[in-house]
Structure 1
Amino acid sequence: MPPYLNAIGTAVPGHDIHAAFQRWAMDQLPAAKAPLFARMAARSGIAHRWSVLEQSPGGGSPVDPGGFYADSPYPGTGARMELYARAAPELALQAIAALAAQAPLGEISHLVVASCTGFVAPGIDQIVATRLGLAPSVERLLIGFMGCYAAIAALRSARHIVRSDPAARVLVVTVELSTLHLSPADELEPLLAMLQFGDGAAAALVTGEPAGLAIGRPFATTLPDSADLIRWDITDRGFAMHLSGEVPGRIAAGLADPGFAAEVTGSRPPAEIDAWAVHAGGRSILDAVARGLHLDEHALDDSRAVLQDYGNMSSATLMFVLARILAGPPLGEGVALAFGPGLAAEGFAFSSAP
């Protein structure tokens, strides 16, 4: 029997910062460029993004007086990582609690954690294992700095573990605090990149028990000459995200290549795929996938709904999409697909349990 993704729990913080960010971004731009930013933000497909950053006194945003980003220069990387060390485990545990409400979490044998928005040692995996009271013998794997496709790597690793040990019960956690990395900018491209990102966490249980979604054939590939299109740079003032405007076009062109498309679909016509769990990296990226594979206009509805409600939560985003698919009716064949630094594309086939 194949490994199964039995259930997924998700969590986001309680502070919606999307509107406040847009006001801040408009103030950073020259007056001539602000209207263009406003138009592109309105077309982003994003209505909400959530942040672990507390509201400033009086209920303001993190850039208001008393907020985390109120003073110039903005907090250094050390202060941001101190906050990550406190907030990331808490948000991860909220997602695990949501998972526990759906599936029993006893006898966890392996813990796989993915995160690219912070570093702490002992790691998030050790902190979570201790807080959950997992046995000291639990086998841990921390997947760091892979970016938006790290959920694929985490679930693929869980699949390999269960295939080698059918009795394994693997807890997979993705947690990202992207809003810890706001940077001053007065150019359109970096502000539009920051517009995409929010905070979120997800937790999944992967076992050999036939419930949920069967995790099938994995795949991975890298687009040539694309290493600089998506990049995180570690600076003294947080992690600076670089997301080139060329990314959607390169994705669409890659998927238009028959060999690349066959790798993604397992040589099946895209129209025969019943469900698509595509990382909601942005409206233009989802449009590029739909265009490149000639998908039906509703094929990516689950991804677009996640983008609208949460924005791009890096590695956690795909898990939110899969959670929506799990909550829906049974399906035949599905494909999970995510993109990230490299420019890499990774994914796997899936189907409903019998």
Structure 2
Amino acid sequence: MTIALTAPGTGVLDAVDPGRGKSPGAARIAGVATATTEHSYTQREVLDLFAITDPKVRSVFLNSAIERRFLTLPPRAADGALCSEAQGELLAKHKRLALDMGGRAVRAALDNVGLDVTDVDYVCCTTTTGFLTPGLSAHLIRDLGIPTKTSRVDVVGMGCNAGVNALNATASWAIANPGKVAVMLCTEACSAAYVIDDTLRTAVVNSLFGDGAAAIVLMADAPETAYAPADVPAAPGGPRILGFSSHLITDAIGAMRYDWDDEQGKFSFYLDPQVPYVVGANAEQVVDRLLNGAGLRRSEISHWLVHSGGKKVIDAVRVNLGLTRHDVRHTTGVLRDYGNLSSGSFLFSYERLLREGVVQAGDYGVLMAMGPGSTIETALVQW
């Protein structure tokens, strides 16, 4: 499915009613910020701290293209060994870490555009590393002092692609409420979602994920109409969100899943070894659908911000889309320095792109994330 979220005349699908004589305003990403937990570890340090000696498991960790990850390790027992954490302790850890990282990311993103938490009108939180009711959005509003009238949504359990799903919902809200401030937060405490055993299944997962949060601020311009209210402020500068395209690979619906492990008494994440090839084989059709709706070719995309799903996933996407290593430099850099940050990974790459200072007015960018479903989510933006 492809959805356009902008005015006609930009080359994308016409999403307005021509009989109404008006064009919707475009949602813009006004600010971005990221946060992590306190401590980072090399892959070798993690192996040694958990006393993992199996050469096959160690090889998975040490050949992951990851140098460091931010993690919050379990407390130590009297003998110095890391304690096992029960599911209840992991859920409490998730709440604590996700709110701490998330709060810092939201404040920093607002600061970047000269806004305060009291200016926020909408909050969308996404996470997969824990579950609680009420959701993170309610706790975030209370903890940060965001106005209690603020509308909120929690996107839970969608996995690594959830950030683009949430971006779609948040951009739609911003367009429906021009001039108002929407905040989207991806906050993943991956240290609260693990199982340690002697299987390669858990080794692959435990070698990959890290703690991180990313927040963005979105605002939309007022619609182009003679009846537009004069007091609606223009959205701050930042890329316009032009549209979205999704693809659900139903034949691989169980290839990435977070389910209950009776033996461990915990939730456990599973990644099928075929995931990179499944994602790579389906990447072209969803990206081409996104670009065809805008009348664009892949060669016209200046910036590719792809989810840091793992070395093989990135390589499969790059090869199937005909991208260069330079095109995915921020994706591989985030994987190297942070590991897979689940739903917020692509925003860490987006932040790095902005800091690089190479974006020019008129440039197009593609945001791309992959996750359980199996799902590929994409968004088209233009500066």
TM bucket, shorter chain = 0.7 to 0.9
Corresponding residue for 1:212?
A: 238
**How many angstroms apart in 2 are the aligned matches of 1:44 and 1:117?**
21
Could you tell me whether the CA contact under 8 Å between 2:209 and 2:340 is conserved in 1? yes
The normalised TM-score by structure 1 is 0.88
Shift of 1:66: 5.2
Q: For residue 162 of structure 1, report the CA deviation from its aligned partner.
A: 1.2
Deviation digits for residues 235-257 of structure 1 (CA, Å, limit 9, x no counterpart): 4643201011101111222235x
1:239 to 258, 263, 267: 267
Question: Could you say what secondary structure the match of 1:329 adopts?
Answer: coil
> What is aligned with 1:225?
251
Structure-1 residue corresponding to 2:197: 185
- Structure-2 change in CA distance of 1:279 and 1:23 (3 Å): same
- In the TM superposition, what are the counterparts of 1:135-150 in structure 2 within 5 Å? 135-150=147-162
Describe the superposition over 1:3-55 as per-residue Cα deviations: whole angstroms up to 9, x where unpaired: 111111101112113333233677263xxxx1x44444333221111123467
* Change in 2 beyond 3 A, CA 1:252/1:138: same
2:244–2:290 CA contact under 8 A, matched in 1: no
1:150-198: CA deviation from partner (whole Å, max 9, x where unpaired)? 1101111111011111122101111111112221222223302221101
- Residue 11 of structure 1 is matched in structure 2 by 35
- Which 10-residue stretch deviates more, 285-294 or 41-50? 41-50
Aligned to 2:207: 195
Unaligned runs of 5+ in 1: 58-63
**Separation in 2, partners of 1:320, 1:177:** 15
Once residues 119 and 260 of structure 1 are traced to their aligned partners in structure 2, the CA distance between those partners, rounded to angstroms, is 30
Q: Distance in 1 between matches of 2:80 and 2:63?
A: 31
Contact 1:159 1:215 in 2 (8 A): yes
Map of 1:278 onto structure 2: 306
Report the CA distance between 1:85 and its aligned residue. Answer: 2.2
1:52 aligns with 2:62: no
1:343 alignment partner, one of 374, 379, 382: 374
Q: Aligned partner of 1:137: which letter?
A: K
Q: Shift in Å at residue 121 of structure 1?
A: 2.6
What is the aligned length? 335
Could you say what secondary structure the match of 2:379 adopts? strand
Residue 329 of structure 1: aligned partner: 358
Q: Which has the larger radius of gyration?
A: 2
Q: Select between 155-164 and 183-192 the one with higher mean Cα deviation.
A: 183-192
State the Cα deviation string for residues 263-319 of structure 1 (Å, max 9, x = none): 243363322211001000101111011011111221100111111110011112111
Letter paired with 1:12: T
Question: 1: CA distance between counterparts of 2:170 and 2:187?
Answer: 16
Matched, 1:301 2:351: no
Within 5 Å, which residues of 2 pair with 1:63-102?
65=79, 70-71=82-83, 74-102=84-112
Give the partner amino acid of 1:221.
Answer: H
Task: Select the residue among 45, 51, 57 that pairs with 1:20.
Answer: 45
Q: TM-score, normalised to structure 2's length?
A: 0.82
Report the CA distance shift for 1:54/1:93 in structure 2 as closer, same or farther (over 3 A).
farther
Q: Please give the per-residue CA displacement for 1:80-117, whole angstroms capped at 9, x wherever unaligned.
A: 11222222211111212322331223321101110111
1:120 aligns with 2:148: no
* C-alpha spacing 1:292/1:13, structure 2 compared with 1 (3 Å): same
Q: How does 1:148-163 map to 2 (within 5 A)?
A: 148-163=160-175
Structure 2 CA distance for aligned equivalents of residues 195 and 291 of structure 1:
24
Q: Which amino acid aligns with 2:26?
A: P
* Structure 2 unaligned blocks of 5 or more: 1-24, 221-234
RMSD: 2.1
Percentage of matched positions with identical amino acids: 24
Q: 2-side partners of 1:66 and 1:102: how far apart?
A: 42
Q: Distance in 2 between matches of 1:90 and 1:41?
A: 28
Paired amino acid for 1:234: W
